[in-house]
Every structure is written in structure tokens, then in C-alpha cells.
Amino acid sequence: MVANIVFVAIAVITIISPSFGQLFGRKQNLPDGGFNQQVGYKAGPVWGSLSQSVDSRGFRSPVNIGAGGGFMSEQGHGLSGSLGMVPGVGGQGSLRGQVGILNSGNHHLNAFAQHDRSLSKNLRPFGPATNSAGFNYNHANGASAFVSGSKISGIPAVGTVGGSIPIFTRKNSAVSLSGQSSFARGMKPQHQVGVGASFRF
């Protein structure tokens, strides 16, 4: 099997204010010279964002408006939902549930299931649904890992593994290195690497 390796550079900047919530931004550089960008605001369990893609020729996609929210217990059990829409075009809605398996001082492991549907401009579902499930692991030092599988009717299932490790940590800032790989029968593997940064004030 020949692996098709695609490296994607990802930059993430997060600014957190104790009084007003969390303002975040993200830029993902793509192999073809284009990039994805996102800016948003999170307050407690709810968030909203604006995102857009720009290709190598400078063509900008319509702005995608996203919003979501959820509930999470101290035991790691929770429910969440999100909606991303391009006005006048359509978008996607997601529902996600998770169950905490291990929730000790340093180790946190949960299992999740997620259901995604494409939506018309009138918020009506269309096309096949995407169902996925997997496990997430988080360590108190900031390291994380996950494994998941997703399935669309009529299309081979896709498996994904990934993780993130902190490479620089201070009281008010942190930098992490992340990566993930996706595999499916009859398809070339896709690999991504990224760097994220967060700052608190």
C-alpha cells in the first residue's frame, strides 16, 4: 500500500478573559497554498463562530456561521450539539453524547457517539447521515489521544487516530504539537500535523 502523506500546518491562538469568556482564532494552512480561518467567542457552555476558506488563487468561500452548546458533568458524561450554516446555501448539524469511563486526578477517558446531518438552507435534513463513535483520552499535563470510526451509507468506513502533546508550558501560555491519520479501505491514508498555542491574561 502506498501512503499519501499530506502535512497540514495548523496555527491556533486562544485568548481567555476570566470576566468575559474566551475569544479564539484559528488558521489552517493547506497543502495547495490556501487556508481555512475561524474566529469565535465562547461563554460558558455555548459558543459562536465565523469561518471561511481561501484557495491558492485568493478565492474566498461564503462565510460559515457556527453555533453550539452542551452540558458536561464532573464524571465526564455529557450531551452537546452544533450547527454550521452558510446563509442561503445550507450547512450541517451535529449531535454528540459521551460517557465518562475513567475520571481520576491525572487520567480522563470517555467514549462518544456522534450523528451528523447535512441541512438545506431551510434547515431540513437531506442526504445520508454520518454516524461515528470512538474514545478520547486526556492527561492532566495536557497530552491527549483519540481513536474513532465513522460511516456513511454506501461509503467505506473511515478510521482515525490522533493525539496531541505539550511541547512548551508556562503559567499563562502553552504550545502543543498534534497529529492525526485517517484510513479507509480502497483509499489512501491521509496524515495531518499541527501546532497550537494558547494565552491567558
The pLDDT of residue 199: 59
Residue 99 included in any domain: yes
Q: Which residue has the cell 454516524?
A: 131
- Residue 2: inside a domain, yes or no? no
Q: Is 1 part of a structural domain of the chain?
A: no
Instruction: Judge contact between 131 and 114, C-beta under 8 A.
Output: yes
Give the cell for residue 190.
Answer: 491521509
Residue 175 C-alpha cell reads as 504550545
Q: CA 93 to CA 85: how far, in whole Å?
A: 9
Could you give the CA distance from residue 113 to residue 193 in angstroms, rounded to a whole number? 24
pTM attached to this predicted model: 0.72
- The CA angle 12-116-82, to the nearest 5 degrees, is 50
Provide the pLDDT for residue 99.
Answer: 96
User: CA-to-CA distance for 31 and 33, rounded, in angstroms?
Assistant: 5
- The answer as to whether 129 is a domain residue is yes
**Does residue 4 lie in a domain region?**
no
Per-residue tens of pLDDT for the chain, all 201 residues: 333 333 334 444 444 444 456 777 777 776 677 888 888 888 888 999 999 988 888 899 999 999 999 998 888 899 999 999 999 999 999 999 999 999 888 999 999 999 999 999 999 999 999 999 999 999 988 899 999 999 998 889 999 999 999 888 777 677 888 888 999 988 888 887 777 766 554
Residue 43 lies in a domain: yes
Q: Is residue 90 part of a domain?
A: yes
In CATH, what number is assigned to the domain containing residue 175? 2.40.160
Q: Please tell me the total count of domains within the chain.
A: 1
Q: Given this model, what pLDDT does residue 154 score?
A: 86
Please report, for residues 46, 99, 100, 143, 169, the alpha-carbon distance to residue 73 in angstroms, rounded to integers and kept in the order given.
15, 10, 9, 21, 27
Spatial distance between the Cα atoms of 134 and 112, rounded to a whole number of angstroms:
6
3 within a domain of the structure (yes/no):
no
Domain that holds residue 150: 9-200
Among candidate residues 59, 1, 12, 5, the one with its CA nearest the CA of residue 194: 12
Residue 194 buriedness (CB in 10 A; 0-12 / 13-18 / 19+): buried
